[in-house]
Structure 1
Amino acid sequence: MTTAVRIMEAARACLLADGYASLSTRKVADKAGMPLSQIHYHFGGKRGLVLALLDHENQLLVGRQRQMYAASEPLWKRYEQACDFLEDDLASGYVRVLQEMIAAGWSDIEVGQQVLSMLRGWFVVLEEVVREAEARFGSLGPFSPADLASLVGLAFLGGEAVILLGDDEWAARVRTALRRVTDLLRTLEEASVD
């Protein structure tokens, strides 16, 4: 494992334990078992470190989504897999890191722009999937592929934020609502075959 990866893994653990506002590069260096100067050498500081961590994980997960949606499974099964991936991403801490950086971006324009750039990757994948659905099912009514991709992506982002608030009843509502889209897609796909 490279020094940069060790530092990012330590940062991830500290971020999950303490949140972005309380994240200390000193704690990260201690957790990684290396001098603080290595963080500054590799990442420039706290902001650069956390953005590098988020970017690294984001690239892996967007790649995972692209691969999953490129499969020949029915669209409803692929969407169902995306809901399963949400559970994996919550468990891994990725969602928490992402939401922490979204919040940090509200007061730090540079962070906000970098987070938006990362999120665009997710929306591009979703728009490609919606274009596939449009080709298979026909009209999307008043919605463009970009509109529907935005709605689905924002439903996941908002759902993630609500789940992280820790209320079991609301978390269950979010999970149920997101998974109901599977039923809608299945109905549309089965109707298009008939």
Structure 2
Amino acid sequence: MSLRSSDGVQPGKDASVVDTREKILDATFRRLASEGYAALSVRQIAKDAGVNHALINYHFGTKDQLVIEVLDAANRRLLARQGSMYAGPGGYARKWAEARRFYDSDLSSGFVRVQAELWAASFSNADLRKKFLPRLLAWKQLVRDVVGEAVAALESSGVTLPAPFTADVIACWISEFWLGMEFADLLGVKQERAQHRAALDAVQALLESLDARAAGQGDGR
């Protein structure tokens, strides 16, 4: 997975400086995804990136700031990808299916492990936790916003969910289930994988039913 921006050179920054930073970010991402936070070595990252290790301190200051910028680089791209998909055309069942494909891609690319590694490291590192939590909450807020839009769309088409099923409750279920599934997948808990897929399929079927009902209401049926 490359963390390079598709926008090219950042305004006001020399191309060589940007290139050095991106090489370091890419090398750090790969090391985090393959070996984890505890084994992360600044000297090894420098070797992988083909730069002097002093440049890592120069550009990022600390190891924790480096890993946060790695997460930021990935988050910007993936949150934009997710937001664009949800804002696009199509029913929520199709978007749920697309989100599942995104997850499989993020699992194989190493992003899911990178995020999990920083989460785990945050338990015993207060400074890292302070930086990490807003990044994690950004994903939860994305889910909350999308669920809110979906519930509002259903209500406007005449479909009303029972009172306990608020957007906040549904978003909490989705976020916490997904995070639990990520840890189980990273740990290789094979017996739970089939259960998780069955749960995802069940939501898929529910959304297909709700999409069809909403479409029927829109057609006056």
The structure whose residues are more often helix, as a share, is 1
Find the aligned partners of 1:117 and 1:179 in 2 and give their Cα distance.
30
Find the aligned partners of 2:200 and 2:87 in 1 and give their Cα distance.
21
Structure 1 residues 72-129: Cα deviation after superposition (integer angstroms, max 9, x where no partner) = 1101100110011000000110000000000011111222222220122212221221
1:46-85 to structure 2, matched below 5 A, reads: 46-85=63-102
Contact 2:24 2:49 in 1 (8 A): yes
* 2:206 aligns with one of 177, 184, 192: 184
Find the aligned partners of 1:187 and 1:143 in 2 and give their Cα distance.
16
Partner of 1:45: 62
1:160-175 to structure 2, matched below 5 A, reads: 160-175=182-197
Contact 1:163 1:174 in 2 (8 A): no
Q: Which amino acid aligns with 1:22?
A: A
Q: Does 1:11 align with 2:33?
A: no
Q: Does 1:149 align with 2:166?
A: no
Find the aligned partners of 1:110 and 1:78 in 2 and give their Cα distance.
36
TM-score (norm. length: structure 2):
0.82
Q: Which amino acid aligns with 2:141?
A: V
Is 137-146 or 60-69 further displaced after alignment?
137-146
Find the aligned partners of 1:136 and 1:127 in 2 and give their Cα distance.
14
Find the aligned partners of 1:109 and 1:148 in 2 and give their Cα distance.
30
- The SS at the match of 1:143 is coil
Quote the offset at 1:133 in angstroms. Answer: 1.7
Q: Does 1:35 align with 2:57?
A: no
Q: CA RMSD of the aligned region, Å?
A: 1.5
| Structure showing greater Rg | 2
Q: Which amino acid aligns with 2:179?
A: L
Is 144-153 or 74-83 further displaced after alignment?
144-153
Contact 2:118 2:132 in 1 (8 A): yes
Contact 1:7 1:32 in 2 (8 A): yes
Find the aligned partners of 2:92 and 2:117 in 1 and give their Cα distance.
31
Unaligned segments of structure 1, at least 5 residues: none
Percent identical residues = 36
- The SS at the match of 2:112 is helix
Quote the offset at 1:3 in angstroms. Answer: 0.7
Contact 1:156 1:178 in 2 (8 A): no
Contact 1:19 1:100 in 2 (8 A): yes
Partner of 1:159: 181
Contact 1:20 1:101 in 2 (8 A): yes
- The SS at the match of 2:48 is helix
- The SS at the match of 1:2 is helix
Q: Which amino acid aligns with 2:82?
A: Q
TM-score (norm. length: structure 1):
0.93
